[in-house]
Amino acid sequence: MASIPWSVAEDSLDVNFSVPQLLRLRCTRDCFAEDWDQVLPLLKTDSAKARVQIWIDRSVVESNGAVLRNLSQRIAESDEAIELVAPIALVDGGEQIKNDPDAIENIFRAIDRDGLDRRSYVFVIGGGAVLDAVGYAAAIAHRGIRLIRFPTTTLGQADSGVGVKNAINAYGKKNWKGTFAVPWAVVNDQTLIANLPDRDFRAGFSEAVKVSLLKSPSAFRFLCDHAKAIANRDWNAVMPAIRSSVLMHLHHITHGGDPFEMQEARPLDFGHWSAHKLEHLTNFRLRHGEAVSIGVALDTVYSHLVHGLDISDVQRTLNVLSDLGLPLFDNELAEQTIFDGLEEFRQHLGGRLTVTMLRAVGQSINVHEIDQSAMRKAIEVVREQSLVLSR
Ligand SMILES: NC(=O)c1ccc[n+]([C@@H]2O[C@H](COP(=O)([O-])OP(=O)(O)OC[C@H]3O[C@@H](n4cnc5c(N)ncnc54)[C@H](O)[C@@H]3O)[C@@H](O)[C@H]2O)c1
Ligand SMILES: [Zn+2]
């Protein structure tokens, strides 16, 4: 008992403690070819071989068959270090995997079937939706299996890959079931996004615009100056844009003081109250990144109308999103039901409504009330501006 600092007479104890976490990010050019030597050392094991199960978004393989061929070959060559517990599994990507309870159940069953434990590894290679769904199952099974994410979309590489969240949709609501879980590692690989269709390629940069508006005037300027080059997939603009976005997200998560969102604000969710609602209202016709583009445009205009954000910064934001080839408006935004998104946003976090807005680029504020008539005006402004900028 001597080593215990508390008296046995104490009936009430509030003990602060913290647990060190490690989040490994690797940025590679071709991780299943020349850069495999960055992946293999991630597999630390005290048994003879690391037991690994692998899930791939089917679209990745369809757009670039070399991914599966190269990965299979690397695994075969690494058989002294890796035991592949089952053939590599392909899953349908996109939001449907997060909406389909059977798809999630299949992942759980496979984890059980293959006897994975907390020291085993799940590789997930795919878009944000597949990362979320497989990550959810891996976080729940045995209360957490080591997860290595290989994001294959610009959104995954610029934003969600280094996030500590995973989720599936339930009861008609996005991300209703989910956990916080720090991934074992994240591999941001250039080759994995090379064959992404233009629409998805562009969609991810709305998150880069979002985080730069929150955190960094210079990163925002870079995006403004290079938006057209990024939309045209010029790697000299694309890679720095992704790199700075992922580093800002990573910094926020590891140094922002609230990785598990215990406090009332969710600053990285700037523009997301309407984006999440729009995804549902459009039945996922809009990609997450496209809905975020509209949500960021809207809340930027609102920030001008209500919180004094300079009009020139609003115009730059609308221009950069438009130059990236992203939408600023969708007809569903004009429906009254969009405002239900505010209550759903509040419910997701609990407590009082807290929405992030901008006073200036790089200077965000938390607000607890939204002026609906000003928000309606903002909706009209983004509608008009989307017509002007698409001409
Ligand atoms: N957990 C988090 O912190 C977090 C953060 C942001 C977003 N998200 C979630 O991520 C999801 C959106 O992810 P996304 O934007 O990556 O889109 P996505 O996962 O929906 O993928 C879009 C489409 O691209 C396909 N695809 C993926 N990679 C490809 C490739 N390399 N080549 C060809 N096709 C490919 C997919 O199969 C899908 O059809 C949403 O569900 C969103 O809620 C999660
Ligand atoms: Zn997002």
The finding on whether 289 has its CB within 6 A of some atom of ligand 1 is yes
pLDDT tens track for 28-56: 999 999 999 999 999 987 778 999 999 99
> What's the pLDDT at 266?
83
How far out from the chain centre does Cα 31 lie?
20
Parallel, antiparallel or unpaired: strands 355-360 and 363-367:
antiparallel
Helix axes 205-215, 217-231, angle to 10 degrees: 160
Q: What is the pLDDT of residues 187-226, one digit of tens each?
A: 999 999 999 999 999 999 999 999 999 999 999 999 999 9
Identify the pLDDT of residue 244: 97
Say whether 198-390 and 24-194 share the same fold. no
d(CA 370, CA 339): 10
Q: Which of 86, 102, 177, 173 is nearest to 132 (CA)?
A: 177
d(CA 259, CA 236): 31
Q: Which residues, at least 6 apart from 364, have a Cβ–Cβ distance to it below 8 Å?
A: 214, 267, 270, 356, 357, 358
Contacts of 302 (CB under 8 A, 6+ apart): 357, 370, 374, 375, 378
Element (H, E) at 211: helix 205-215
Point out which residues pair with 166 in neighbouring strands: 179
For 105-114, b/e burial (b = at least 16 CB within 10 A) is eebeebbeee
Say if ligand 1 is within 6 A of residue 286 CB.
no
From 63, 134, 160, the mutation candidate for ligand 1 (largest count of ligand atoms within 8 A of CB) is 160
Q: Measure the CA–CA gap between 307 and 211, rounded to whole angstroms.
A: 19
Q: Could you give the dihedral angle defined by the CA atoms of residues 361, 363, 369 and 374, in that order, rounded to the nearest 10 degrees?
A: -20
315: pLDDT strictly greater than 90: yes
d(CA 303, CA 13): 44
Of ligand 1's listed atoms, the one at least distance from the Cα of 127 is 19
Alpha carbon distance 388, 383 (integer Å): 9
Distance 163 CA to ligand 1 centre (A): 13
**Nearest C-alpha to atom 25 of ligand 1 is from which residue?**
59
Q: Grade residue 329 by pLDDT with cuts at 50, 70 and 90.
A: very high
Kindly report, residue by residue over 53-92, the tens digit of the pLDDT: 999 999 999 999 999 999 999 999 999 999 999 999 999 9
Nearest CA to 292 out of 259, 314, 268 is that of 268
Cα–Cα–Cα angle for 248, 196, 184, rounded to 5 degrees: 45
Yes or no: say if 71 and 32 are a contact pair by the CB < 8 Å rule.
yes
| Residue 258 pLDDT level (bands cut at 50, 70, 90) | confident
Its CATH class, for the domain covering 24-194, is: alpha beta
**The predicted structure's pLDDT at residue 373:** 96
Give the class (CATH, top level) of 198-390: mainly alpha
Mean pLDDT of all residues in 280-302: 96
Domain extent listing, the chain: 24-194, 198-390
pLDDT tens string 124-159: 999 999 999 999 999 999 999 999 999 999 999 999
Q: What is the mean pLDDT of residues 239-255?
A: 96
Q: How confident is the model at residue 363 (pLDDT cuts 50, 70, 90)?
A: very high
Average pLDDT of the chain is 95
Q: Does the pLDDT at position 257 exceed 70?
A: yes
Q: Give this prediction's pTM.
A: 0.94
The tokens for 160 are 């969600």
Q: What phi-psi label fits residue 362: left (phi over 0), alpha (psi between -120 and 50 degrees) or beta?
A: left
Which numbered atom of ligand 1 lies nearest the CA of 289?
15
Residue 1 has pLDDT above 60, yes or no: no
Cβ of 163 below 6 Å from ligand 1: yes
On the 0-12 / 13-18 / 19+ scale of CB atoms within 10 A, 247 is: middle
Query: What is the share, in percent, of the chain residues with pLDDT greater than 90?
Result: 88
Report helix, strand or coil for 151.
Answer: strand
